[in-house]
A = this chain, B = another copy of it.
Amino acid sequence: MTRRLHLNAFLMNTGHHEASWRLPESDPYAHVDLAHYVGLARIAERGTFDSLFLADGPQLWNDIAQRPSGALEPLTLLTALATATEHIGLIATASTSYNSPYNLARRFASLDIVSGGRAGWNIVTTAGAEAARNFGLDAEPAHAERYARAAEFLDVALKLWDSWEDDAIVGDKAAGVWGDDAKIHPPRHKGRYFSVAGALNVPRTPQGYPLLVQAGSSEDGKAFAARYAEAVFTAQQTLADAQAFYADLKSRTAAAGRDPEHIKVLPGIVPVIGSTEAEARANEQVLEDHIVPAHGLARLERLLQLKPGTLELDRQLPADLPSEDAVEGAKSRYTLIVQLARRERLTVRRLIGRLGGGRGHLTFAGTPEQVADAIGTWFTQGAADGFNIMPAVLPSGLETFVEQVVPILRARGLLRTEYGPRRTLRDRYGLPRPANQYALRENALV
């Protein structure tokens, strides 16, 4: 079978560029407008994307003055989108640090059922004290602690999703027997972080469980991805870095005893498209001109975990920044930004401009052909199984991509031309439906 690109639409209110909301076309209330998101989902479906995706964190950032803040809770929004779409996968971010496995496993199972097998979970451990303080803690748990909890959370969730065998429902009306107790497997889990005794109160779902997605690229993050993830979102600035990451993750996955084909690597790309190179660069400049420099400065300081007032707009980053080991959360993003600034000797002002669109993801300004070339190169040269498309402005950036880049990718045989008969999100990504761990165990005994 021809290897094909997997495309994920990373949706974010008026777009990924921090100043996108200030453009004339943008609606400052888009973040809470269901119709806005329905429109985006339908555009992505016209582009035969595999999935769409919502980032999330359970806190309100303190920059409400500067740009749209807050968002509809992702599983709620995706449930509404499930009813407005037919094919596209629906990936929600949810935190293992600030949820309980029983509730979250049930919600993803419910979305998987309601959407006919299109649910995905972007598993995050949630960095930052702001979130911790909304859940009874004074400070965020340490990075390693968060990942240890995440691993136990996943083990419990997988037990819950398997707690009904696929044929647990009998429905024998004459005998008055609805279900088969022998096919129900309460986890009876007692661990370091969680005790969960009973079976889930939702049957096994079309996909068995949601597609498991992960986006942390720290050491802990990569180890976690190798063990659990079926798709990985990553920020990579150069082909060489992306190739190294790709090879590393595939080999870690094989080392964990899994088929490396069963983990799909999707770097993020912010395509800024123009009919000529000059037009694309001009479009990029319009966005950069809308950034309020003081806001960008404050955000960069937060991202690098520096005290306010550390950075100066027209100088480069200070030479004595801490190493990745010393920062908590978003470790790999930290390193990526510092390396980008050093490699290109960027002033803080230029760095803010470069980060304004993608927060560390690759911004690529060019013609539709150039964007398709870049995607094709990364895809065929061992750097990507697909891409996380992060339009700078929404909906127009997604529309332009689907109307101008997608046809080129299709003509080159890199992208499906229609969805075809298979329905689940795992089908789209070419992944098998997972077997039930308890049914497997029984069969092994036979």
Contact = CB atoms under 8 A, between A and B. Distances in A.
Interface of A: 19, 21-24, 26, 28-29, 32, 34, 57-60, 62, 64-73, 75-77, 79-80, 82-84, 98-100, 102-103, 106-107, 109-111, 113-114, 130, 133-137, 163-164, 168-169, 171, 173, 176-181, 184, 194-203, 290, 292, 295
Chain A's interface: helix, strand, loop or mixed, by majority?
loop
17 contacts: A28-B169, A28-B178, A34-B83, A58-B102, A58-B103, A64-B179, A64-B184, A68-B179, A69-B178, A70-B203, A72-B114, A76-B79, A76-B107, A99-B103, A100-B136, A133-B197, A133-B198
A60 B201 contact: yes
A281 to B, nearest CB: 23
Contact of A102 (B110, B134, B181): B134
B134 A197 contact: yes
A107 B110 CA distance: 15
A56 to B, nearest CB: 9
A70 B200 contact: yes
Given A106-B73, A173-B22, A178-B69, A58 B111 contact: no
By Cβ-Cβ distance, the 3 closest A-B pairs, closest first, are: A28-B171, A64-B179, A133-B197
A60 B204 CA distance: 13
A73 B171 contact: no
Given A58-B201, A134-B197, 10 more contacts: A34-B83, A34-B114, A62-B181, A64-B179, A65-B178, A68-B178, A72-B114, A72-B202, A73-B103, A133-B198
B198 A134 contact: yes
A23 to B, nearest CB: 8
A64 B176 CA distance: 11
Contacts of A67: 178
Choose among A26, A29, A199, A295 the residue with the greatest number of B CB atoms under 10 Å from its CB: A199
A178 B66 contact: yes
Contacts of A200: 60, 70
Nearest to A113: B32
Nearest to A22: B173
A70 B106 CA distance: 10
Given A28-B178, A196-B134, A110 B171 contact: no
A163 B109 CA distance: 31
B83 A176 contact: no
B179 A65 contact: yes
Nearest to A84: B83
Nearest to A31: B203
Contacts of A178: 21, 28, 64-69
Contacts of A109: 73
A202 B82 contact: no
A194 B134 CA distance: 9
Contacts of A181: 62, 64-65
Contact of A180 (B59, B65, B295): B65
Contacts of A133: 195-198
A183 to B, nearest CB: 9
Contacts of A75: 76, 107
A220 to B, nearest CB: 24
